[in-house]
Structures are given as C-alpha cells and as structure tokens.
Structure 1
Amino acid sequence: MRAVFDARQERHDPQFFLVNGAMRPSPEQPERVARLKAGAERAGCTFEAPADHGLGPIAAVHSAEYVDFLRTIYPRWQRIEGAGPEVIPNIHPARRSDGYPKSAVGQAGWHQGDTACPISEHTWESAYWSAQTAVSGAEALLTGEQAVYALSRPPGHHAFADLAGGFCFLNNSAIAAAHLLRAGRRPAILDVDVHHGNGTQGIFYARSDVLTVSLHADPERFYPFYWGYAQERGEGAGIGANLNLPLARGTRDEDYLRALDTALRRIEAFGADAVVVALGLDAHENDPFQGLAISTPGFARITAAVRALGLPTLYVQEGGYLSDDLGPNLSSALEGAQG
C-alpha cells in the first residue's frame, strides 16, 4: 500500500497541555510518528515523501488571515517580554464577530480555540508538511491508486478555517477533500476518530459538495463538548450533508459497526466517488483518552467495511496516542483497508 510522510512533521514538539486546570505533558508527541510508521510498514506500506503543492491547497480551506497568523506568530511571540516558550492563549473573544486585534496575545486568543494547540518554533513547518502529505495522498488517488495512507502529524480534524484546537492547526482531511473536489471528484469525509471532527464539520457545514460524517464518543461529557450532536445536519445549502453519529462511552466493536453501516449508507446515497477517512485510532479500548472501546481487530473490520464501498480511499492519520497498541492498531486498520 502506498504511503506518504515527511520527516519534518516530527519537529513539532508541544510541551503544554492543560487538563482540568492542571498542567500535563502533551500527549501529541513526536514519538507517535515512529510507532505509526512502524505499524504501517508491518502492514506492507511503502513510504514516499510528499510533493510540495504550495499554499494553494491550504488556502482553499483556511483563511489568509489564519495562514499568516500561523506563519508569523511564533517570532512575534518571542518579542514579548517575559513570554512563555510556546504560544498559548489566555483570552478569547466572546464571539467570532468581535473586533480583530493587532496584538499577538489577542490574535492567539482569536485563532487558538483551546490550550491543547501550543505553537512553538517548528509548528508551522510540521503542520505545512502534514498538509502536503495529505494533498500528495489525494493526488495518488487521482492517478489511480485505490487506497493510500497519509501519515499526517500534527493531526487536523479539530482545525476550523481560522481556528486551531485539539492538537490541530491545518485540517489535513478537509484540505485533501477540497483537493479532490477541485479535480472534479465528489468526496465524502468519514471521521472515525474518538473525538468529533468539529473543525471539518465547520469548514463544510454550509456546503453541499462535500459530505461530512463523524462517528465519535458522545460530546455531552467529552471533547469537543460543543459540537458533534445528532441534530447538527448542516445549514443553508449544506442541510443534509453533515451526519453525526455520537456513541455512548465505552462502545465496543459490534455496536460501532452497526453505526458505521449507517454512515456508509449515507456515503453511498451522497453519490461519493472518493472517500477521505480521518483515521483516528484513539477509539481503541486502551487509548489514553478512554472514550470508546474498539479492539485491535475491530479496526480491520472498520476499514474492511469502508473498502467494500469500492471507492478510492485516502486514510489520513488523526488521533491515536502513545500506548503499546498504537502501532498494532494501525497495522490492523491498514490490513483491513487492503483486504
């Protein structure tokens, strides 16, 4: 199976993570790359470096204002006397219609939705190549590949058009889907991460040309809390082009697969001719976030069900955090994707 990765994605090394008011080390560590890469290679993947497609595919999804912020905020932050080593917001606008400040501190609050997306020296570089990895994976589908794996890190599905959050800066899955759309495809995004893909939903919520479907732990008491409810169906032209399937905490394989069947039927009804799977492995029973309880063999069953659609499919890495099961979970998922 063809796979894409760039080593510059390992340079982003976040330290800060605020949990229930307490500082903890960030779980989105560069070590994830080594474990994921080994798991993909065990499943028969052959890695290649992405091409540099420039800012165009990124700017098709993210605002120019936001891209400029990501590119420049770290050196600006370093000029603040007494500033911490990472860009972390401490104030946020009450609403997105409030005034846009010139202050680096104020802009951090505008463009970073929570404290789980600290920006350091190499964040932009790593996020840029994570997005290029996803775009190159989409290009491989356009040249005839049936299944491709993009090892995108940092992940992306919590990033809105102008807002980072939840370890995410550029929305890799959305960027890949938009790239397929511009090439004349009709893409669907299927998000199987344990957390709702709120950024992906927000980017396409008022559009009918990309279907967004997410299976995730019920957000009533689970991140991202404010998005991911079943009644969120889209707005305007996008009504009916968004499907959320929130699941009870601790959901196991059989119940998950029944919900997945609903998701796949919607993808078929949409008339999709390509699928982008936001491949979060944090739904596993031993993942540190403990939202759902999918088994390692369960991931193969999930991707085998997606493969049965018979559509070109790009698997873009999202969550899945450090445990002894991370590599084997990816191996299982990619083996199911290949048959």
Structure 2
Amino acid sequence: MHAYLSTAQSDHAPQTFLHQGVLKPSPEAPERIGILKDAAQAAGCSFTAPPDAGLAPIAAVHSSEYITFLRTIHARWSALDGAAPEVVPNIHPRARADSYPSSPVGQAGYHQADTACPIGPHTWNAAYASAQSAIAAADAVTSGAPHAYALCRPPGHHAYTDQAGGFCFLNNSAIAAQRLLAAGHRPAILDIDVHHGNGTQGIFYDRADVLTVSIHADPADFYPFFWGHAQERGAGPGLGANLNLPLPRLTGDEGYAPALDAALARISDFGTTALVVALGLDAHEADPFKGLALTTPGFTRIARTLTGTGLPLVLVQEGGYVSDHLGTNLSAFLSGL
C-alpha cells in the first residue's frame, strides 16, 4: 500500500498538556511516529516522502489569516519579555466575532481553542509536512490506488478553519477530502477516532458537497464536550450532511458494529465515490484516554467492513497514543484491508 511520511513531522515535540488541572507531558509525542511506521511497514506499507504540493491545498480549507498565525506566532511570542518556550493561550474571546487583537497573546487565545495544542519552534513545519502527507495519499487514490495511508502527525481533526485544538493544527482529513473534491470525487469523511472530529464537522457544517460522519465516545462527559452530539446534523445547505454517532463510554466491539453499519449506510446514500477515514486508534481498550473499549481484532473487522464498501480509502492517521498495543492495532487495521 502507498504510504506517506515526512521526516519533518517528528520535529514538533509538545512539552505540556493540562489534564484536569494537572500539568503533564503531552501524550502526542514524536515517538508515536516510530511505532506507527514500524507497524505499517509490517503490514505491507511502503513509505515515501510526500511531494510538496504547496500552500494552495491547505488554504482551500484554512484561512490565510490563520496560516499567517501558525507560521509566525512562535517567533513573535518568543520576542515577548519572559515568554515561555511554547505558545499556550491564557485568554479567549467571549465570542469569536469580538475584535482581533494585534498582541501575540491575544491572537493565541483567538486561534487556539484549548491548552492541548502548544506551539513550539517547529510546529508549523511539522503540521505543514503532515498535511502534505494527507494530500499525497489523496492524490494516490485519485490516480487509481485502491487505498493509501498518510501517517499524519501532528493529527488534525480538531482543527477548524482558523483554530487549533486538541493536539491539532491543520485538518489533514478535511484537506484530503477537499483535494478529492477538486479532483472530481464526491468524498465523505468517516472519523473513527475516540474523540469527535469537531474541527472537521465545523469546516463542512454548512456545506452539502462533503459528508462528515463520526463515531466516538459520547461528548456529554468526554472531550470535546461541546460538539459531537447526535442532534448536530449540519446547517443551511449542509443540513443532513453531518452525522454524529456518539457511543457510551467503554463501548466495545459488539456495541460499535451497529454504529459502523449506520455510518456506512449514510455514506452509501450520499453517493460517495472516495472515503477519507480519519483513523484514530485511541478507541482501543488499552488507550490512555479510556473512552471506548475496542479490541485489536475489532480494528481488523472495521477495516474489512470498510473494504466491503468497494470505495477507495484515504487513511489519515489521527489519534492513538503510546501503549503496548498502538502498533499492533494499526497492523491489525491495515491487515484487514
């Protein structure tokens, strides 16, 4: 299987993660790449560095104002007297229609939804390279590959058009879907990460040309809390083009299967011609976030079910954090294809 990864994706090394008021090391660590790469190669993937498709495919999803922020904020932040090594917001606007400040501190609050997306000196280059991997995978499918895997790290599905959040800076799955759309496909995104893909939903919420579907732990008591509920169906032209399938905490394989069937039925009814899979592996029972309780064989069954659709698949890596099962889960999924 075609697979894409840039060495620059390892350069982003976030140090901080505020969890329930406790400052901890970030679980979105560069070592995830080595574990996932080894597992993908064991499953038959052959990695190449993605070509540089430029900013245009990224700017088709993200605002130029936001791209400027990501490119420049660390240097501007570092020039502040006494600034910390990472950009972490400490203030947010009451509403995002409020004024746009010139201060790096104010802009950080505007463009970073939470404290889980600290920006370091290499964050922009790593996020840019991660997006290029997603673009390359979409192009491979457009060129006739049945499936392609983008080892996207940092991940992307919590990033909105102009806002980072939840370890994410550029929305790789959305960028891949937009790329497929531009190539003449009718794309859908199926997000199987344990967390709702709120950024992906937000990007396409009022659009009818990309279907967004997410299966995830119920946000009533799980990140991202404010988005991902079943009643969120889209707006305006996009009404009915967003489907959320929240599951109770610690749902296992048996409870997951009906949700996947419902997701694929909607994807079929959309007339989908290519499917972007936001491939979170953090729904596993041993993942540190403990949201759902899928087994390793469960990931193989998900992959076999997706293959049964006959759709070309663009696999975009999202979550899945360091545990003894991370690589095994990816190998199990890829082997199911």
Task: State TM-score, norm by structure 2.
Answer: 1.00
Give the C-alpha shift of residue 17 in structure 1: 0.5
Which residue matches 2:240?
Answer: 240
Q: Provide, for residues 114-137 of structure 1, a one-character-per-residue CA deviation record: whole Å limited to 9, x for no partner.
A: 000000000000000000000000
In structure 2, runs of 5+ residues without a counterpart are: none
Determine helix, strand or coil for the equivalent of 2:158.
Answer: coil
Q: CA deviation at 1:278?
A: 0.1
Aligned match of 1:110: 110
Counterpart Cα distance in 2 of 1:110 and 1:173: 23
Q: 1:223 — aligned with what?
A: 223
Matched, 1:151 2:151: yes
Q: Secondary structure at the match of 2:333?
A: helix
Partner of 1:319: 319
Distance 2:78 2:129 in 1: 23
Residue number in structure 1 paired with 2:263: 263
Q: Distance in 2 between matches of 1:278 and 1:204?
A: 15
Q: Distance in 1 between matches of 2:336 and 2:138?
A: 20
> Where do 1:37-56 residues align within 5 Å?
37-56=37-56
Q: Which runs of 5+ in 1 are unaligned?
A: none
For the pair 1:166 / 2:185, whether they are aligned, the reply is no
* Partner residue in 1 for 2:68: 68
- Which of 150-159 and 298-307 deviates more? 298-307
Alignment of 1:1-339 (within 5 A): 1-337=1-337
What SS does the corresponding residue of 2:24 show, helix, strand or coil?
strand
Aligned equivalents of 2:70 and 2:274: distance in 1?
Answer: 30
Q: Which amino acid in the other structure matches residue 312 of structure 1? A: P
Letter in 1 for 2:240: G
Identity across the alignment (%): 65
CA distance in 2, matches of 1:258, 1:252: 11
| Counterpart AA for 2:11 | R
Tell me how far apart the structure 1 counterparts of residues 92 and 174 of structure 2 sit (CA, whole Å). Answer: 25
Q: TM-score, normalised by structure 1?
A: 0.99
Q: State the Cα deviation string for residues 160-189 of structure 1 (Å, max 9, x = none).
A: 000000000000000000000011110000
Deviations along 1:205-255, one digit per CA (max 9) or x if unpaired, are: 000000000000000000000000000000000000000000000100011
Number of residue-to-residue matches in the alignment: 337
CA displacement at 1:20 relative to structure 2: 1.1
Task: Give SS of 1:77's match.
Answer: helix
Tell me the amino acid that sits aligned with residue 142 of structure 2.
Answer: L
Offset of residue 154 of structure 1? 0.1
Query: Deviation of residue 201 (structure 1)?
Result: 0.0
Deviation for aligned residue 1:303:
1.2
Q: In angstroms, what is the RMSD of aligned CA positions?
A: 0.4
Of 221-230 and 299-308, more deviation after overlay is shown by: 299-308
